[in-house]
Amino acid sequence: MTVKYELKENAAILTLTRERYLNTLTLEMIEKIDKYLRNIAKNKNIHMVIFKGEGKKSFCAGGDVKSFYEEKYKNTNILRKNFFYKEYKLNYLIRKYNKPIISLVNGICMGGGVGIAMHSNLTIVSENVTFAMPETAIGLFPDVGSGYILSKIKDNIGIYLGLTGKRLNSSDLIELKLADYCIQYEDFEKIENLLVKIKTKTSIRKIIKKYAIRTDSLLFPSLNKNISQTFKYKSVEDIISSLKTFKEKWAVEALGALEKNSPTSLKITLKQINLAKNLSLRDELIMEYRLSQACMAGVDFYEGVRSVLVDKDFNAKWSPKLLKDVDNKLVLLHFKPLGKDDLTI
């Protein structure tokens, strides 16, 4: 069992139960969640959905991208064809759902986990959360509709997060409004037991507010001005030049990340998030699906997964290797409509 379904008083509780793999999402899990949500939507006795992750370490560390690497050496194309298609449709379903969805997030929340937690009506984080959209490290781009979310954060901070894969903690998430409330992990069970008893949105907020704790971010807003200045540029090369004028830790770290991540991923991600500023979530997901198919047709994704998750040498050999060799034609190719193969929502 990879997703546990429990009916508890007025709520359906969906728990990701692949603890050994940090609850990373498989295609089977995506299909199960989709089916559960469609059934819950029709059930008049269920008034809310709660998402959580099994174990203390992780809500969800992303998609099970290692399985793509394995599929590459088989004759099947099941994941390539279906995984992102179904995942992005699920992200949309969560965002537009007809009942409150509450994500109780503790531990790691990256990639696909962000696509569940941050499209929910309420994202509750414990004091112990590590958030990231780290896909440019594996030759992908920030997906699951995160382009939509990141593009709406002020001062180009979303571009900073998407390009560098910067890890954030719970305080940062609250400050950026990527999460709604912070509640101590030891209170999660109590909160869950109170939530399942109620039926209205206003009483949900009331209960949660009672347990919410104050947090203070060390990064924001103190870095906003510098990040805004640096990540306003429309080319990755210009962002790098601007970063080099700063000597502080945040800039040195960001520069290190940009020098390590896939040059192609960086260029498509910058364009993606800038375009997403003017897109609906639906149109963003359609664009992301085109990007996902282009990445899977290329080489960096497989090389990235190999270097970070299979061999763990963290020494990817990107192709093209240098930013200057990723020409605009190659970037634009990633955004090309797929005709009958486009995502339909």
Q: Write each residue from 105 to 124 as x if it is in contact with ligand QUE (CB under 6 A), else as -, in one continuous string.
A: ------x-------------
The single residue of 135, 172, 175, 303 carrying the catalytic annotation is 135
Per CB under 6 A, the list member of 8, 32, 57, 66 interacting with ligand QUE is 66
Among 63, 162, 263, 298, binds ligand QUE (CB under 6 A): 63
Spatial contact of 265 and 141, defined as CB atoms under 8 Å apart = yes
53 sits near ligand QUE (criterion: CB under 6 A):
no
> What DSSP line would sit under 215-227, residue for residue?
---SSTTTTHHHH
Whether residue 63 lies in the annotated active site: yes
Binding of residue 257 to ligand QUE (CB under 6 A): no
Q: Which of 53, 100, 115, 134 binds ligand QUE (CB under 6 A)?
A: 134
Smallest distance from the beta carbon of 60 to ligand QUE, in angstroms?
9
DSSP 72-116: HTSS--HHHHHHHHHHHHHHHHHHT-SS-EEEEEEEEEETHHHHH
Q: Where are the beta strands (DSSP E) in the chain?
A: 3-8, 11-16, 48-53, 58-60, 101-110, 122-132, 181-182
Question: Looking at 64-72, 231-239, 283-291, 295-303, which segment touches ligand QUE (CB under 6 A)?
Answer: 64-72
Query: Binders of ligand QUE: how many residues, by CB under 6 A?
Result: 16
Residue 42: exposure state from Cβ atoms within 10 A (0-12, 13-18, ≥19): exposed
Q: Does 61 bind ligand QUE (CB under 6 A)?
A: yes
Interaction of residue 265 with ligand QUE, rule CB under 6 A: no
Angle at Cα 308 formed by Cα 305 and Cα 312, nearest 5°?
120
Backbone angles phi, psi at 125, to 5 degrees: -110, 145
**Using rule CB under 6 A, residue 308 touches ligand QUE:** yes
Residues 89-108 close enough to bind ligand QUE by CB under 6 A: none
165 is catalytic: no
Counting Cβ atoms within 10 Å, is residue 5 exposed (0-12), middle (13-18) or buried (19+)?
A: middle
Question: Is beta strand 48-53 parallel, antiparallel or unpaired with respect to 11-16?
Answer: parallel
Query: Shortest approach of ligand QUE to residue 24 CB, angstroms?
Result: 4
The interface region with ligand QUE, picked from 16-24, 223-231, 246-254, 294-302 by CB under 6 A, is 16-24
Q: Which residues bind ligand QUE (CB under 6 A)?
A: 21-22, 24, 61-66, 111, 134-135, 137-138, 308-309
